[in-house]
Structure 1
Amino acid sequence: MRKDVKWDERFNIGVDVVDQEHQKLFSIVRRLVNLSEDEKSRKWACAEGIKYFKYYTAKHFAQEERYMRSIGYSGYKMHKQLHDDLKGRTLPVLEKDLEESGYAAEAIRHFLGICVGWLTGHIILEDCAITGKIASRWGEAHPGEAGQLENALLCVIEDVFKQQAEVVSERYFGENFGDCLFCRMDYHTLENKQLHIFLAYEERLVFQTVGGMLGMKLKKVDSMVLGAARQLSRQLMKQVGAFFGETGKYQFEEDHILTREQFEHEFAAGYPPYSLLFDTGAGYLAFCAKIR
C-alpha cells in the first residue's frame, strides 16, 4: 500500500465534518487490509479493528443524519433507511461469517470488499445528493423505454465511476473487451415475472474505482475485489431503479459472480432485449437485461 496517498477530493461532498469522517472510514479499512496480512496477530487485531470500524460507522451515520435534518434534506428518510440496513442487517451477517471462519484472511478480505463497495457507492450516489453534487434519483419517475434507460445508465455510471462515459454500442452481443468481472442479479415481480441483469466490468475499471477509495493500487482479483464489485452492482441498480421510479416493482432475489463462459452462455441462449456497452474512459462496462 502506498503510504503517501492523499484523499481524492472528487469524493468530497462539500461538508467538512462529513468529508473528514469519510476519509477516516477509509483509513480504518486500509489499516484492516494491512492487519489481515499479518498471520500472527490477524485474528485479535482484526476483531478489535472491525469493532472500531462498526463504532465509527455508527458515529458517522449519526453525524450525517444530524446534518441532513439541520438542512431539511428531502431524502432524509430513505437515506437513514440505508444507514440502518447496513448497521442492522449487513454488518451483523458479515461479522457472524468472520467469527465462524476464525477470522481467516480470505473471510476478512470478503468483509472488507463488501464494506468498501457499499461505502463507495453510498458516498458517490447518496451522500453527494445531500449537497446537490448529483441529482437524487429517489422519487423520480420516467417511462421505461430504451432511450431513457440509456440516459439513466449514463448518469449513474458517471456518478459512480467519476468518468465521462459514452455509449459504445446499443447492441452489445457479448464481445470480449478484455479481462472482466461478470455479475448477474436476479429480481422478480409480484406477477412472477423475472428480471435478470448482467454487468460486465473491465477489471481495470474496478481496480481504479475501489483502489481509488482505499488509496491502494489493486492488481489482482480476490474476494475483496469481488465483494466490492457485487456491492457496486447493487448500488448501481438501485439508482437505475430509482431513476425510473420502480424501486418497489422488482424485488431483489440474489446475485452471482459469473465466469466468462457462463456470461457468454447467456448470449448463446438468446440476445438480451436491452444490451449496452459503455466506455468510461477508465475501462469498459456492459449492461444487459432479460425479462422472462
Structure 2
Amino acid sequence: MITWSENYTMGIEEFDFEHKKIFEIAGRILDRVRSRGDEAFMRLFIIQEGLNYLNSYFERHAKKEEAYMRKIGYEGYALHKMQHDDFTRVQLAKYQKIASSGQCSKKDVLDFVGSGIGWLLEHITTADMAIVGKGVLTDPPVTSISQAMLEEKLNLLFTATLNLESNVKIVSTNYRGEPFGKAVYQKIVYERDGREINVISGIEQSFLMDVAKTLYGDSVENELDLVLSTVEMFGARFWISLSRELIGTGSKINIKENNFLVGSLLSEEIRRLNPTTSILFTSDKGKFFLTCDSDQLFLPDDDPSHVQVLNEQ
C-alpha cells in the first residue's frame, strides 16, 4: 500500500480524487509485484496492465487539468503542460519499451512504481498546488539569497512535498565530499534556457529510509530498487522546485541526465565539477548536500550579487 496524505490535496474535488486514484493504481501494482514478482509471466503482465491503465488514466487527467488551467488563465500553463508531456514522453515511454520487449525483471517493475511515485509526489505537491495558489511555488522570486533564507526555503519544501518537519541547517558552504555516514549519491545534468547545469547531490541513507517507510511501509527495507528509483526521480525534481522557489517559475529547467554515483568516486567527482556552490546540510532526519557548477540554478538573472550564500560562513 502506498500512503496518501491530505498534504497532497488541491481543494478541487475532481483532481484530488484522480490524484488519489493514480496512487491507488501504483499501490495495486506494488502489492502484486510483492506477492508474485518472482514469476516471469506475472511480472510482464503486471507492467503491461499497469502501463495500459496508467497511460489512459493519466492522459485523461492531464487533459482535464490543462483545460482547467486554460479556463482560469493560469500563467504557468505552458510549463505545466510541458511537465505532463515529459512524463508521458520520457517516463511512461521508457517502461512501454521494456513491456514491449516481452520480458522484464522484478527490478524493472519496482523501478516503474518508484519513478512514477517519485515524479507524481513532487509534481502534485508543487506544480499542481501552484494552480490553486497554494504551496511553495506561489511566493514571489527572491532578490538575494542568504543562508537563513535557503534553510527556510528547504524547510518549506520538505514540509510541502514529504510532510516533514526537518529543521534544515547549513553545516558548510565549502563541502568537498567528506564522509558523513552511509549515503546515496546522485549526478544530475539539467538544462536551463540552453545552458547545462551539473549537479551532484547526496542524502544520508537513514534519512532516505525514513521517508521511504512513511511512503511504502516497513517492508520497503528489503526493496532497495523501489527506494532508489523513487529518490532518483524525486531528488532530481526536488532541486528544480527549490530553484523555482528562489527564481520563480518562468525559466524552463529540464533533466538531461540522472544517474547514481559510486561513493568512492565522490570527492574526485566534486573536484572535477569545480563547483560554484557546494553546501552540506544537516536536519532532524539526517544530512544531505548539493554541489553545482553554475549559479544559474539559483540566479534569476546573470547578476552574481543575488547569491550571497556561497561566501557566507
| TM-score, length of structure 1 as denominator length | 0.81
Partners of 1:167 and 1:276 within 8 A in 2: no
Partners of 2:193 and 2:251 within 8 A in 1: no
Residue 181 of structure 2 aligns to a residue whose secondary structure is coil
Partner of 1:224: 226
Offset at 1:157? Answer: 3.9
Residue 34 of structure 1 aligns to a residue whose secondary structure is helix
Partners of 1:143 and 1:244 within 8 A in 2: no
Offset at 1:94? Answer: 2.4
Partner of 1:198: 200
35, 38, 46: which one pairs with 2:32? 35
Partner of 2:307: none
Offset at 1:217? Answer: 4.7
Offset at 1:79? Answer: 1.3
Partner of 1:17: 14
Partner of 1:262: 265
Cα offsets for 1:55-110 (capped at 9, x unmatched): 22122222323433444433222212211221233311221033336122111112
| C-alpha separation in 1, matches of 2:146 and 2:170 | 19
| C-alpha separation in 2, matches of 1:132 and 1:271 | 38
**Higher RCO, 1 or 2 (CA under 8 Å, sep at least 6)?**
1
Residue 136 of structure 1 aligns to a residue whose secondary structure is helix
RMSD between superposed Cα atoms in Å: 3.4
Partner of 1:179: 182
Gaps of 5+ in 2: 296-313
Partner of 1:82: 83
Offset at 1:215? Answer: 5.7
Partners of 1:207 and 1:217 within 8 A in 2: no
Partners of 1:7 and 1:215 within 8 A in 2: no
Partners of 1:146 and 1:274 within 8 A in 2: no
| C-alpha separation in 1, matches of 2:108 and 2:162 | 26
| C-alpha separation in 1, matches of 2:249 and 2:145 | 9
**What does 1:1-292 correspond to in 2, within 5 Å?**
7-37=4-34, 38=36, 39=39, 40-100=41-101, 102-136=103-137, 140=141, 142=143, 152-164=153-165, 165-171=167-173, 172-187=175-190, 195-214=197-216, 217-220=219-222, 222-242=224-244, 243-244=246-247, 248=251, 252-267=255-270, 272-291=275-294
Q: 18-27 or 58-67: which moved more?
A: 58-67
Instruction: Give 1:81's aligned amino acid.
Output: M
Cα offsets for 1:218-275 (capped at 9, x unmatched): 2146333222212112212222333325975876542220121122333566874422
| C-alpha separation in 2, matches of 1:220 and 1:143 | 44
Q: Are residues 48 and 252 of structure 1, via their aligned partners in 2, closer, same or farther at CA, if it must alter by over 3 Å?
A: closer
| C-alpha separation in 2, matches of 1:6 and 1:137 | 26
Q: Are residues 203 and 247 of structure 1, via their aligned partners in 2, closer, same or farther at CA, if it must alter by over 3 Å?
A: farther
Gaps of 5+ in 1: none
Residue 218 of structure 1 aligns to a residue whose secondary structure is helix
Identity, % of aligned positions = 24
| C-alpha separation in 1, matches of 2:45 and 2:160 | 38
Q: Are residues 35 and 136 of structure 1, via their aligned partners in 2, closer, same or farther at CA, if it must alter by over 3 Å?
A: same
Residue 288 of structure 2 aligns to a residue whose secondary structure is strand
Residue 219 of structure 1 aligns to a residue whose secondary structure is helix
Residue 84 of structure 1 aligns to a residue whose secondary structure is helix
| TM-score, length of structure 2 as denominator length | 0.76
| C-alpha separation in 1, matches of 2:218 and 2:126 | 22
